[in-house]
Structure 1
Amino acid sequence: MRIVLAGPRGEDSIDLTKGPISQTLDGSNVYLKDIWPASREIADTVLSCKMFQEKYADVLKGDARWQDVRVTEAETYDWPAGSSRDWATKGTALLGIRAVIAESFERIHRSNLVGMGVIPFEFSPGENRKTLGLKGDEVITIEGLSEELKPLSFLPCTIACSDGTVKRIQIKCRIDTAIELEYIKNGGVLHDVLRNLAKEKVKQWTNGQCCPPLEKPGGLTETLRHDRHSASGHLA
């Protein structure tokens, strides 16, 4: 018998072993026992223990491509540390890239780019690398990267192609908030936090609220001394 359900009950206040779970198109009640498979149907369909063991006996062996992966003799694979999402932006920053232009950004990836000091930009609607005919050998200049830069603003972008042609477009800055703008100005969220901590320590030191820490030359103490000298005009 074929049963067509009009829709689930959408509630959990009924006893599924006694009450109807739905209705057919003609209004007849449908009970769980009506659609529950018989023991023979289950036995004929579900894998037996022997079948499962045969299918998964070599599951860890993998195919030829998996076997060609070079690994160490250790019991664990030597994966790079950190989240792949983090390294997707860390690698970008470590390569010296300071801006990325794309059609759109996944939410967390955009946020991570900003956190690493890389500015995400989006093409204007209807434009992308294909419509602009970009090949990868162009020289791209983004204007307006100054103190007047604002979140979600559009900036002029000049694309100089290898054949001598020049294209001018508008791209959207995906720095979405004022705090993200501060991260970018300081080179990333980590730099922003460290500089704020250093400023607070200099303020406390200047006001006599704390003593300067003892550190090796070139450490935080040297930075604080330099900042204090710049602020007060002399060294204590």
Structure 2
Amino acid sequence: MPQTRSADQVHAALTADIVQGALRPGDALAEAALAARFGLSRTPIREALQRLAAEALVERGPRRAFVVRRLGTDALRHLFEALAELEALCASMSALRMTAADHAALAAILDRGDAPGADYAAVNIQFHEALRAGAGNDVLACLLADLNRRSLPWRSAQFQLRTGRIDTSRAEHRAILDAVATRRPDRAADLMRGHMAASLGVILDLLAARDRAYSAG
């Protein structure tokens, strides 16, 4: 199995463990123990841990070993506040710059998300990426890159752990598409802010539920 693919699988498994609470803040992530758990060499384990560090899910602890990061609600709120404003700006600029062909491509992405068995988390990523591309601003895209990397595990988790969020997200996406296609930049920006606020609300609820489970345990 290629090392990159192995690293992807380790990254996905550890992300799920952290978001769902199987791994708690402060838990050690020793390379040797993880290599034994996944039956891999240390190279893909190290790559996965470095990606998790870039996403701010883990950090260096004592003796430079990785540990699960203690991420509070304020940190997530600040992250999503910044992300919402930049995403809103992308939606606004896309409403001014996207072509009819771009609108059709954006609608096709949402149609794929409506299909039975669709990987909605992947569709969500594609929709937001298309809007960023539609904004046509490389500087804005670069500013968003780090925030997207740090928020993505939480944004994907909301669909895995709160399946009802998929339906509300679909409706929000359709409303944003309508505002973009009818060239209403202010409307598109406001809808995107609301969309990101709704996601944050679900994610904070997940964190609260995880903290209650910790307390009960």
TM-score, normalised relative to structure 2: 0.19
Q: Select the structure of larger CA radius of gyration.
A: 1
**1 or 2, which has the higher helix percentage?**
2
Q: Give the structure with the higher percent strand.
A: 1
Higher relative contact order (CA 8 A, sep 6+): 2
